[in-house]
Structures are given as C-alpha cells and as structure tokens.
Structure 1
Amino acid sequence: MRLVRSPVLCNYYVTYRCNATCGFCDIWERPSPYVTLDNARANLRDLRRLGVRVIDFTGGEPLLHRQLPELLEEAKRLGFITTVTTNALLYPKQAERLRGLVDMLHFSLDSPVAEEHDRSRGVRCFDKVMESIQIARQLGERPDILFTVFEHNVQQIRDMYDTICRPNKLVLILNPVFEYNGVDTGGALSTDALQQLTNWGRQPGVYLNDAFVQLRRDGGNHVDKPVCRAGSTTIVISPENKLVLPCYHLGLKDFSINDDLYTLYRSEEVQKMVALEGRLPACEGCAINCYMQPSFAVDVNRYFWKALPSTLKYNWMKGTWKQLF
C-alpha cells in the first residue's frame, strides 16, 4: 500500500566540488559549477508545490558554496526541513552564518583515530571535526556524527560512541557503506557486521535505519520486485540546474529545468523515467542509503516496519517530528 504519492525529498547538489578526496567517493572527481541563488529560489518554490518536505543541500562539499546560508534561509522561509552533511573543514569559519538554518547538521567522521580518519578522507580534517563540535555546541546547535561503517571500522563504533558522541551529547548516525558505479568501497558488510549494526541501533543516542540492514541481508533491490522508489520519492537537482533521473548515482538522463521544475517533473517524458525506478538492470542489488531511506517511508511493507522505529526515534531525538505532520 502506497502512503505518499508525491516526492518527499530533494537531494540538491549545490556543487560537485570538494576539498577532500575520499577513496570511497567519486563525486569530487567531477568538474562542477555552483548552483545560482536565482535558480534555487525558483526550484524551491516548485519543490514545495510538488510536495517535497526535506531539502538535503549536498555535494561535493556543500560549505564550498559561499551562498549556502542564503540557500538555507530560503528553504527555511518556505517551511522545508533542511539537512547538510559536511567534512567540517570550513564549518568553523561559517558556523555563525549557518546558525539556526540547518535542522539536521551532520559532521562526517569515519574513525575515532585522527590518522585513520584523515587517511580515509585524503586530507587532515579530524581536528576540524573536533573543533566544529565545540563551536556548534557553543552556538546552541545540535550536530550529529555521521559514521560510515565499513568492515574494517565496525569495531570502532564503541570508541566513537564512548569517547566522542556521548561526552558531547551527539547523536551517532551509523551509515552502512554501499557500493556504486564500480567505486572501491571496501566490499559488502559481513553477516556479523550487520548484526553488530542492528545491536548498536538499539542503544540510546544511536540512529541506524534497520531496514538498511534487512535490505543487505536480502541482497539489495531486486528488479522483479523493486523496493527502490528513487524516482518518485526523491528529486535530484544537479549544479548545472538539471533534473537527474532516475537517481544521481545511475544518472541515465538529465533534463534542463529552465525555471519550471513543477511542469518538467510532471511531464510525460520525466514520468516515464520515474516509472523505471528500481527496474533497470543497474538497479539489481542496489542498496544506496540516500534513496532507500525515503523509499522505505512511502510503501507499507516489511521495510517500512523495519524503518519506522528508528525514524521515529531519530526525529524525536532531533525535535523535528512535529514538522513531519
């Protein structure tokens, strides 16, 4: 049973540029402009008309966009829930301008050991994350730690939780690694690692969408009975001001928006692409978190029930639950 027919999330790529060179990501390798404020204002108005509730200003590194505060201000003015994930290199300089504009602020941190985290990111940024935590707390912000879980660091969850998150009263978000486009992400998580994730998801102050774990146990999305609803739940906008379908990572086709996203999204050509969500050959086995999260929220199935407790838990911890209704 489908609960929601309209898209609920926009992954708004403000730039593909990044000041880190993470080995498990290839976005930073792409040439990229920055979105313009005028285009974004028009798109945000249309996103609201289409029913979108959450805007994820993403990249690349979103804080590289000098007008990110203005983009966030416009999104907040229109009533969106906003989210930003950053490596924190630029956060200390921009924290004051971002204050009060990000509902879900995530600092990426993949190890409680500075040398290991910096090596995974290709740049020294561990100390900036630690500095950013203190600055954010002084400003009354409530950032989360986004911990991408690989087979090699799953045993470090305990240290991350005990030494960084709990002392600073931060939510620990466990983000199971996913494979895409031939990028070397270290391989699939083992059965033992998946069970550890499930166990950690039950701890106070920890967010894990247990449907992510179940999907991996089931071998990911299957084209004969797809769980992915990337095209119908998530609108992806590129820095070139194009609508990307059926999702960013597959990116089979893009459409110039031309200041009328509402009409474009509802057009026959776009809706034909949306109807292919989860059914294309490359969709077999997919478990990309950023598309499965909204997919689990719109269809009442086993993944919906797996995801619901953790979703309610996180929004209760963050105080954003009232905005969902």
Structure 2
Amino acid sequence: MRLVSHPVLCNYYVTYRCNASCSFCDIWEKPSPYITVENLRENLRDLKKLGVKVIDFTGGEPLLHRQLDLLLKEAKDHGMITTVTSNGLLYPKQAEKLRGLVDMLHFSLDSPDRDEHDQSRGVKCFDKVMESIAVAKSMGERPDIIFTVFEDNVHKIKQLWEEICIPNDLVLILNPVFEYDKVGAILSKEALKELLWWAKQKNVYLNEAFVQLRLDGGNHVDAPVCKAASTTVVISPENKLVLPCYHLGLKDFPIEGDLFNLYHSDEVQKLVALEGKLPACEGCVINCYMQPSFAVEMNKYWWKALPSTIKYNRMKGTWRQMVRF
C-alpha cells in the first residue's frame, strides 16, 4: 500500500568535484560546474510545491562549493530539513559559516585506523575528521559518523564505536557498501548478520531493511521495491533533472526555471513509471534510493525500516521536525 505519492527527498548535487578519490566511488572523476544560488532559489520554490521535505546537498564534496552556507540558508528559509555529508577536509575552516544550518551533518569515517581510512579515501583526511568532530561539538553541533561497511572493515566497527563514537556521544551510521556499474562491492551473509547485531547497540543506526533487501537479492524488476524516481528528485550541477536516478542516469532534462511542470510532464512521468523495472534495476540495493523507497510504501521493508528510523530520530531529536510535516 502506497502511503506517500509525491517526492519526499531531493538529492541536490552542488558539484561532482571532490578533493578525495574514494575506491568505491567514481563521481570524483567527472568534470563539473557548481550550482548557482539563483537556480537553487527557483528550484526550491518548485521542490516545495512537489512536496519535498528533505534536501541533501551532496557531491562530490559539497564543502567545495564556496556558497554552501547561502544554499543551506535558502533551503532552511523554505522549511526544508537539510543534510550534508563531508570527508572533513574543509569543515574546520567553514564550520562557523555552516553553524546551525545543517540538520543532519555526517562525517565519513571508514576505519579507526588512520592509514587504513586514508588509503580507502585516496587522501589524508582521518586527522581532519577528528578535528571536524571537535570543532562541530565545540559549537553545539551534533554530527554523525557515517561508516561505509566493506567485507574487510566490518571487524573495525567495534573499535571505532568504542574509541570515537561513544566518548564523543556520536551516532554511528552503518552504510553497507553497494555495487553499481562495476564500482563498489557486495557483502557476505556473514557480514550482513554481524551488521544486524550492531543495529541493536547504543548510538548505532542501521536501516535493517538494507540488510533484508540484500538477503532477498535486491530489487526485482517483476515486483520492484525501488521507488527512486517518484520519491527522490535528483538535480545535477548543470541544473538538470536526472532520471530515473543518478546512478542509472538514463536521461536528464534542463530545468529552465520550471521544475514543477517539468516533473509532471509526460516525458518525465513515463520515466518515473519505469522506476525499478529497467534491466539495470535488477538486483539493485543502492541505499540512496532504497531509504526513501522504504518510507513511502507499507510492505515488509517498511516494517523492517521502522524501528531503526524511530531510533535515529529519537537519538537526534529530528522527530519534532518530521511531525511538523
């Protein structure tokens, strides 16, 4: 049963540029412009009309955008819940400008071991993450640690949780790696079962539906779980609407100041109707689109996701913002 029929999330790519070169991502290889404040203002007007509640300013590395603070202010002025995920390299210098503007601030950290983390990210950023945690906390911010889980680092969760998250009262977000277009990886059933144990621990968030979907073999085109195109509006740095999702990206449409009517156009809606049904959608487990998909349709994944969703919003206090919507 479909509970919500309109988009709830916008993945807004402020740039594809990145100052890291993570082994499980290829976005940093793309040439890219930066979005403009003017385009954002136009799009925010229409995102609100479409029913979007959450805007994720993403990349690339979003802090490379020199006007990120202005982008966040615009989003907040439109009543949006804002999220930003950073590798930490630029946060200490920009923290004051961003203060109070990011509802869900995530720092990426994939190992408690400096050399191991830096190697996976292709740049020395471990120390900057630790500095970023200290700076954010000193200003009253409540950042999370987002840990991308691979087969070879799942055993490091305990150390990172004990040495970094618990002492700093940080939520540890476990983000199971996914595979797309020969990038990324898959996790064994043993690793997935270990993640389910961690989901029950203090200050740990894992959407358990991610695990269930992987155990079920991912999205299946004959009975699609994925609702990427109808739940998530993807906007590129070139100010284009990307469909059916960023990772598949079959087609993009210039927005030209009228996102609302573009989204409801016949051509776009034909692609929306194909969400989860295209050949490339078979077996997909991409977290970026599955999380909102689980939230809008009552099925077994909705029920699997519910306890962890409640847990995170209680830990962070964001349930108050959700209730308003």
TM over 0.5: yes
Quote the Cα distance in structure 2 between the aligned partners of 1:178 and 1:289.
7
Count matched residues. 323
- Give the alignment partner of residue 321 of structure 1, picking from 313, 319, 322: 319
The answer as to 2:219 corresponding to 1:234 is no
Give the residue type in structure 2 aligned to 1:251.
Answer: G
Q: Which residue in the other structure is 1:288 paired with? A: 286
Alpha-carbon deviation of 1:22?
Answer: 0.6
In the alignment, the residues of structure 2 paired with residue 182 and residue 9 of structure 1 have an alpha-carbon distance, to the nearest angstrom, of 26
Q: CA deviation at 1:312?
A: 1.0
Aligned 1:83-102 pairs, distance under 5 A = 83-102=83-102
Q: Which residue type is aligned with residue 314 of structure 1? A: Y
Aligned to 1:37: 37
1:141 shift after superposition? 0.2
Which of 296, 307, 310 lines up with 1:309 in the alignment?
Answer: 307
Q: Distance in 2 between matches of 1:307 and 1:258?
A: 37
| CA offset digits 1:234-255 (Å, max 9, x no partner) | 0000000000000000000000
What SS does the aligned partner of 1:203 have?
coil
Aligned to 1:56: 56
| Cα deviation code 1:157-210 (max 9, x no counterpart) | 000100000000000000000001111x2x321111001100100111100000
Give the match for residue 153 of structure 2: 153
Report matched runs for 1:1-325 at 5 Å: 1-183=1-183, 185=184, 187-325=185-323
Instruction: Look up the equivalent residue of 2:287 and give its one-letter code.
Output: N
Query: Could you tell me how far apart the structure 1 residues matched to 2:271 and 2:150 are?
Result: 32
Structure 1 residue ranges without an equivalent (≥5): none
How far apart are residue 18 of structure 1 and its match?
0.2
What is the Cα deviation at residue 322 of structure 1? 1.6
Structure 1 position 23, deviation (Å): 1.1
Kindly provide the amino acid, as one letter, of the partner of residue 109 in structure 1.
Answer: L
The residue type equivalent to 1:199 in the other structure is W
Q: Which runs of 4+ in 1 moved over 3 A?
A: none
| Partner AA of 1:180 in structure 2 | Y
- What is the TM-score when the length of structure 2 is the normalising length? 0.99
* Deviation at residue 142 of structure 1 after TM alignment: 0.2
Q: What one-letter code is carried by the residue in structure 2 that aligns with 1:170?
A: L
Give the Å deviation of 1:113: 0.1
Paired letter, 2:128: K
Root-mean-square deviation (CA, aligned residues, Å) is: 0.5
Name the CA distance, whole Å, in 2 between partners of 1:298 and 1:248.
Answer: 20
Deviation at 1:105, TM superposition (A): 0.2
Rounded to whole Å, the distance in 2 between the matches of 1:188 and 1:38 is: 40
- What amino acid sits opposite 1:106 in the alignment? H
2:255 counterpart letter in structure 1: I
Normalising by structure 1, report the TM-score.
0.99
